[in-house]
Amino acid sequence: MQPQSLQLSGIRKGFGADDVLKEIDLSVRPGEFLSLVGMSGCGKSTLLRIMAGLETPDSGTVSIGSRDVTNVDPSDRDLAMVFQSYALYPHMSVRQNIATPLRMRNLSLGARLPLIGRMTAKASVLSKIDAAVNEAADVLQIGHLLDRKPAQLSGGQRQRVALARALVRSPAAFLMDEPLSNLDAKLRAHMREELSGLHRRLGATFIYVTHDQIEAMTMSDRIALMSSGRIEQLGTPDELYQQPATVTVARFIGTPSINLLPVEIDASGRVMALGRPLGVSVPARYAGPAMLGIRAEDLRPAAGGFAVKVLRSETYGADRYVTGHLADDQAVCIVMRQAAGDPIAVNGEGLSHLVFPEQRAHLFGADGNRIETTVPARIAI
């Protein structure tokens, strides 16, 4: 099966009075690893379930390849889904679990019955299913577990069985709903690599829901960041990190979180930060209050910078996070990331003066949307 594209257009969904999804348009390319990421309750799981056919949208269409599947049953969409709780059939062995999607598709109802089925099912079909099960088990290295029941497996092993069950029939696309969130941190990092490897090897379309920005950043070709029922930004991990379209995206992506300072844009388009003009300008129509976002790694101590009261510093081997707040405004928390050997440069009053390259600053208007800044030529050099 060729990897398929998947398009959503104008998807709306409400539960009771709440609009969970508001006009979602999304196009997933064939063979792409796309993550839907956002806080819990942002609608990402609902969106995935609409793709799978487990929920019906109030309006809008879902298509896979060139086929409109909005009103097609989940089983006829040719998708495979991996659930957070793995959703293995508890009374079946691992082998039966992996074989189930193929049995349901390739055997008649009579041939699926427990006893009579043995006799009526075609041997050629059964041996094909067996071969496919063994192949999927090999890919995920669970060949030795095939005769166990799910209850006898560890979390990581169940996860592999769930993946094997999904890939056994080469679906048009894989849907994954937070598949790693029940694993411990070390195993999660390991499975992340394996999932990426699996995606490269299969070349299949993966749609991956997570609330963990690190999972999304490390595995995805593209990320759709969702917030309160909308897609805030769709782009590559780099685009989301370097050019966040809204303040929500800027806040969500990156560890530690981006530093946000209140600033004022005056009538001539100058940006006034902490009482002094910043070396960037914006169109005058944005005049008013705004937010300035600075990544922790863009800050460094230097004379003439803005004053920060340093509260603590934490060393993570090569890196160090220095945390404090603005000397003028205790409510604004500032985190600087620097190499562990670099000086913090704290003066006698516990203050450090920090500067940042102005072309690296992100400016967001009062509505939260990004404002493109222009840096006068002399500073850019």
Partner 1 sequence: MVLLRKYLPHLVLALGAIPMLLPFYWMLLTSFRSPAEIFDVSLWPIPKNFDAVENYARAAGQVPMARFMLNGVIVCLGILIAQVLTAVPAAYALAKLRFPARKLMLSLVIAALCIPMQALALPLYVGLAKTDLLNTYFAMMSPFFLSVFAIFLFHQSFRSYPDEIIEAARIDGFSEMEICWGLVLRGSLPSLAAFAVFSLVAHWNDLYWPMIVVTDTNLAPPPLGMLFFSDVESGANYGALMAGATIITAPMVVCFLFARKHFIAGLTMTGVK
Binding region for partner 1 (CB under 8 A): 49, 52-54, 73-75, 77, 79-81, 83-91, 100-101, 104-105
Whole-number Cα distances in Å, 213 to 41, 102, 240, 258, 316:
15, 34, 11, 13, 20
- Of the pair 96, 236, the CB lying nearest partner 1 is at 96
Whole-number Cα distances in Å, 321 to 78, 228, 257, 318:
47, 31, 11, 10
| Nearest residue to 174 (alpha-carbon basis) of 109, 83, 252 | 83
Q: Position 137: which residue type? A: A
- Of the pair 80, 354, the CB lying nearest partner 1 is at 80
DSSP code of 80?
E
- Of the pair 180, 245, the CB lying nearest partner 1 is at 180
| Nearest residue to 40 (alpha-carbon basis) of 211, 246, 171 | 211
Q: What span, in angstroms and rounded, lies between the C-alpha atoms of 259 and 271?
A: 17
- Of the pair 130, 342, the CB lying nearest partner 1 is at 130
**Phi, psi (deg, nearest 5) at residue 65:** 60, -125
Closest approach of partner 1 to the CB of residue 99, in Å: 10
Tokens of 146: 């095939």
Q: Are strands 59-64 and 333-339 parallel, antiparallel or unpaired?
A: unpaired
Contacts of 109 (CB under 8 A, 6+ apart): none
Closest approach of partner 1 to the CB of residue 175, in Å: 9
Closest approach of partner 1 to the CB of residue 211, in Å: 17
Closest approach of partner 1 to the CB of residue 206, in Å: 16
Closest approach of partner 1 to the CB of residue 357, in Å: 48
Closest approach of partner 1 to the CB of residue 81, in Å: 5
Q: Find where tokens 């600033």 sit.
A: 263
- Of the pair 90, 341, the CB lying nearest partner 1 is at 90
- Of the pair 24, 175, the CB lying nearest partner 1 is at 175
Closest approach of partner 1 to the CB of residue 117, in Å: 12
Closest approach of partner 1 to the CB of residue 16, in Å: 13
- Of the pair 161, 290, the CB lying nearest partner 1 is at 161
Contacts of 127 (CB under 8 A, 6+ apart): none
The sign of the CA dihedral 346, 347, 350, 355 is negative
- Of the pair 165, 362, the CB lying nearest partner 1 is at 165
Q: What span, in angstroms and rounded, lies between the C-alpha atoms of 255 and 218?
A: 13
